[in-house]
């Protein structure tokens, strides 16, 4: 048999074997049978050593050509088989990605609207240089009324529907604060020094700029009144602040809080024992759509009370009312939350119905800031 016939037979045989190999393993067996030490092509190469030099000149390239050709075919078939194997694996590993997940914890947990609104209020007033002051919920008659210029027996006292605690061992009758205003007194008053608990804001020397959010209590209950509610109070004391600046602070606050470009306020003279002059403030609104829209329309909605801090209150705190002056305001946190976010019933705020919390609550990372926006 001539060498050429030998080579072509061998090529045909090996090529067929390569094509028949369906796995990398069987392909490797073909490689060993052809190109391994004892393989058919290797055996043929070994014959070169016994050949005459002239024969070797032609036979060498021919046999080496076969070797390289076979090696190339095996490589190509190997690559083909690997691709197929990968494809098969990928097909086998395919899953239904539409299967639903358990919701992430951050998708389930919600912040109560009252906390969110308190954070919104803090964000806005921090920009105007205010800090947050606090006092206790259980107060004395002195801080809740007397120091705030409520005369003993005055109808204004009775209008507060005060909750009283049973008298203690010392016979003193404490009460649940009916407003956050006692904190004003604590902030201004030197005799409060030092506070007996870490959370109580120590007295501040003027200039004072504080906001005072917190729980308040009145013996009253219907759709818009609950025996416990939340108020936020503001206080500015220095040597020059007046009603013109009070108007500016309230306008700026309400614009920022309701996230509207403009707001019209109506100031009505009113009466609070601890401010003089006193005013109630109505905000322009539109009630036509069944939902209250702040900053539009031609209706008015009472939203807060305010005034210049009463000289008696300043004097009660140990400051000279002819030197120090300033203003204070207060509003319901729950109420402005209802106005901004549209909850119809105040009582539901305190029911902890999971459906309500999930609907009206806020995501844990909805952090109200001025740099990123109050609400998303």
Partner 1 sequence: MKFTLDWLKEHLDTTASADEIGAALTMIGLELEEIEDQGKAFSEFVVAHVVSAEQHPNADKLKVCKVDAGSGEILDVVCGAPNARTGMKSVFAFPGTYIPGKDITIGKGVIRGQVSNGMLCSAMELGLGNDHDGIIDLPADAPTGQRYSDYAGLKGVTFDISITPNRGDCTGVHGIARDLAAFGIGSLKTTDMSPVPSTGTSPFAPLPHQFAPGEDKTIRKFAGRYIRGVRNGPSPAWLQRRLRAVGLRPINAIVDITNLVSLGWGRPLHAYDAARIVGQPVLRNARPGEELDALDNRTYPLDETMTVIADDVGPLCLGGIMGGERSGVVEETVDVFMECASWDPQLVARTGRKTGIVSDARYRLERSVDPALTEPGLELATRLVLELCGGEPLEPVVSGEDTPPAVVIDFPFSEVERLTGLRIAADEIEAILSRLGFAVEGAGFTRKVTVPSWRPDVTQKADLVEEVMRMVGVDKVPVDPLPRLHHVAPRMLTTIQNRRRVARRALAARGLDEAVTWSFIPHEEAVRFGGGAESLQLANAIASDMTDMRPSLLPGLLAAARRNAHRGRADIGLFEVGQVFLSDAPEGQHTHASGLRTGTARLTGAGRHWQGDAKQVGVFDAKADLAAALDALGVGIDKLQLVAEPAAWSHPGRGGRVQLGPKIIVGWFGELHPAWSEAMDIDFPVAAFEIDLDALPEPRKKPTRSKGALDISPLMPVKRDFAFLVDRSASAASILRAARGADKTLIEDVTIFDIFEGAHVGEGKKSVAIEVTLQPRDRTLTDEEIEKVSGAVVAAVVKTTGGALRG
Distances in Å between the Cα of 244 and the Cα atoms of 170, 248, 258, 323, 325 are 46, 6, 21, 18, 13
Q: Which two tokens stand for residue 354?
A: 């999971």
Interaction between residue 61 and partner 1 (CB under 8 A)? no
Place of tokens 């309230």: 250
Q: Which two tokens stand for residue 163?
A: 């909750």
Q: Which of 31, 77, 110, 335 binds partner 1 (CB under 8 A)?
A: 110
Residues 11 to 50 in contact with partner 1, rule: CB under 8 A = none
- Classify residue 296 by its DSSP letter: S
Interaction between residue 141 and partner 1 (CB under 8 A)? no
Q: Which is nearer to partner 1, 184 or 278 (CB)?
A: 278
Number of residues that bind partner 1 (CB under 8 A): 99
Interaction between residue 352 and partner 1 (CB under 8 A)? yes
Q: Which of 249, 254, 263, 303 binds partner 1 (CB under 8 A)?
A: 249
Residues 162 to 221 in contact with partner 1, rule: CB under 8 A = 163-169, 173-174, 176, 195-201, 215, 217, 219-221
Q: Are 284 and 263 in contact (CB under 8 A)?
A: yes
List CB contacts of 130: < 8 A, sequence separation 6 or more: 209, 210, 211, 234
Q: State the Cα torsion 122-291-263-121 to the nearest 10°.
A: 0
Q: Which of 36, 78, 277, 297 binds partner 1 (CB under 8 A)?
A: 277
Instruction: Check whether 276 is labelled as a binding-site residue.
Output: yes
Q: Which two tokens stand for residue 169?
A: 């061992």
Sort residue 318 into left (φ over 0), alpha (ψ -120 to 50) or beta. left
Q: Which is nearer to partner 1, 7 or 229 (CB)?
A: 229
Residues 288 to 317 in contact with partner 1, rule: CB under 8 A = 308, 310-311
Residues 112 to 131 in contact with partner 1, rule: CB under 8 A = 112, 114-115, 119, 122, 125-131
In the bound complex, what is the minimum distance in angstroms from residue 223's beta carbon to partner 1? 14
In the bound complex, what is the minimum distance in angstroms from residue 90's beta carbon to partner 1? 22
Please spell the DSSP secondary structure of 290-304, one letter per residue: SS-EETSSSEEEEEE
Apex 54 CA angle, 51 and 60, nearest 5 = 65
Interaction between residue 105 and partner 1 (CB under 8 A)? yes
- Classify residue 98 by its DSSP letter: T
Interaction between residue 68 and partner 1 (CB under 8 A)? no
Q: Which is nearer to partner 1, 294 or 308 (CB)?
A: 308
Q: Which two tokens stand for residue 370?
A: 């001025």
In the bound complex, what is the minimum distance in angstroms from residue 318's beta carbon to partner 1? 18
Residues 216 to 245 in contact with partner 1, rule: CB under 8 A = 217, 219-221, 227-228, 236, 241-245
């Amino acid at each position: 048999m001539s060498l050429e016939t030998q080579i072509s037979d061998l090529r045909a045989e090996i090529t067929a074997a390569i094509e028949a190999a369906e796995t990398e393993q069987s392909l490797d067996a073909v490689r060993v049978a052809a190109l391994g030490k004892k393989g058919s092509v290797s055996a043929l190469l070994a014959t070169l050593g016994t050949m005459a030099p002239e024969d070797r000149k032609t036979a060498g390239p021919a046999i080496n050509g076969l070797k390289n050709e076979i090696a190339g075919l095996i490589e190509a078939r190997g690559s083909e088989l690997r691709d197929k194997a990968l494809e098969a694996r990928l097909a086998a590993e395919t899953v239904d990605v539409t299967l639903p997940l358990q919701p992430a914890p951050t998708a389930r947990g919600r912040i109560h609207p009252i906390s969110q609104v308190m954070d919104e209020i803090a964000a806005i007033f921090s920009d105007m240089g205010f800090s947050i002051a606090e006092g206790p919920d259980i107060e004395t008659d002195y801080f809740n009324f007397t120091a705030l210029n409520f005369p003993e027996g005055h109808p204004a006292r009775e209008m507060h529907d005060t909750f009283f605690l049973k008298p203690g061992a010392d016979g003193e009758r404490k009460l649940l604060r009916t407003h956050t205003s006692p904190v004003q007194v604590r902030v201004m008053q030197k005799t409060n020094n030092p506070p007996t608990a870490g959370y109580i804001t120590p007295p501040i020397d003027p200039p004072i700029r504080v906001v005072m959010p917190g729980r308040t209590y009145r013996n009253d209950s219907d759709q818009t009144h609950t025996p416990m509610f939340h108020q936020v109070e503001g206080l500015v004391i220095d040597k020059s602040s007046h009603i013109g600046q009070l108007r500016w602070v309230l306008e700026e606050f309400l614009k920022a809080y309701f996230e509207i470009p403009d707001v019209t306020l109506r100031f009505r003279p009113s009466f609070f024992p601890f401010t003089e002059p006193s005013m109630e403030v109505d905000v322009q609104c539109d009630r036509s759509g069944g939902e209250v829209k702040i900053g539009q329309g031609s209706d008015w909605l009472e939203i807060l009370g305010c005034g210049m801090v009463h000289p008696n209150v300043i004097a009660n705190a140990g400051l000279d009312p002819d030197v120090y002056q300033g203003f204070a305001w207060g509003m319901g946190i729950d109420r402005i939350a209802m106005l901004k976010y549209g909850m119809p019933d105040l009582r539901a705020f305190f029911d902890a119905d999971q459906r309500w919390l999930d609907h009206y609550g806020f995501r844990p990372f909805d952090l109200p800031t001025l740099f990123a926006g109050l609400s998303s």
